[in-house]
Structure 1
Amino acid sequence: MKTPFRTCLLIDDSHLDNLINSEIIKMDNFAIEVVITEAPEKALLLLSSGKIKPDIIFLDIRMPEMSGFEFLAEYDQLDIDKAHTKIFMLSSSLDPRDVRKAIENKYVSGFLTKCLTRDVLMKIAS
């Protein structure tokens, strides 16, 4: 796969999920750089400071301190260029309300079930 994205940001409180997803991203040359954070608050700081400008974000929904939906509300308030960033909710939740809420959010490009796969990455890249 040709590398479609420069920077990918993984936001998930699960260390294991982050490890698996980052390895899949790296093996498939999906992104040049993979930035991982287990805390959405830290991701917001990185984004607002301009330290990272991800092309794609994979965001978990259920996290202890701040949910993925709370992250999106805070993300909406950031004074940064959001036009070039795709956000995918990456969750183990099969709750139809979560899926609907994710899909209805103006920043969310899609809802994906954990963990990432090569096929999923190829569909996103195409």
Structure 2
Amino acid sequence: MLGKSIILAAWCALGLIVFVTLSPIGLRPETGSVGLERFAAYALLGALFVGAYPQHFAKVMLFIIAVSISLELLQHLTPDRHGHLADALEKISGGLAGCSLIRLTQAFCARSRG
């Protein structure tokens, strides 16, 4: 049951990130530093996807990188948004940090058990 909940949370987080990234700028929530928001959102995304699909760590990391780059490029198709390499790098860094944190946690827990 928990595994299915994490899978659902991961895909919902991705859907929310897609919406926020490609919607009109006025619909984007603001909580403070935009760079920190990007990093944290993708860290959570990476963490959720590694939690949902722990056996596919490398594929999840590549997926997070592809999503980050794709969404930045897709912003060029919207009238009031524009993608930047620096933004993509913040997103990629956050995503890979989230992936790595969960992977290290999984390895530590497995080592503690056995």
Identify the structure with bigger relative contact order (alpha carbons < 8 Å, sequence gap 6+): 2
Higher helix share: 2
Same fold (TM over 0.5): no
Higher strand share: 1
Question: Which TM-score bucket, shorter chain as reference?
Answer: 0.3 to 0.5
Per the normalisation by structure 1, the TM-score is 0.32
Higher-Rg member (1/2): 2
Per the normalisation by structure 2, the TM-score is 0.35
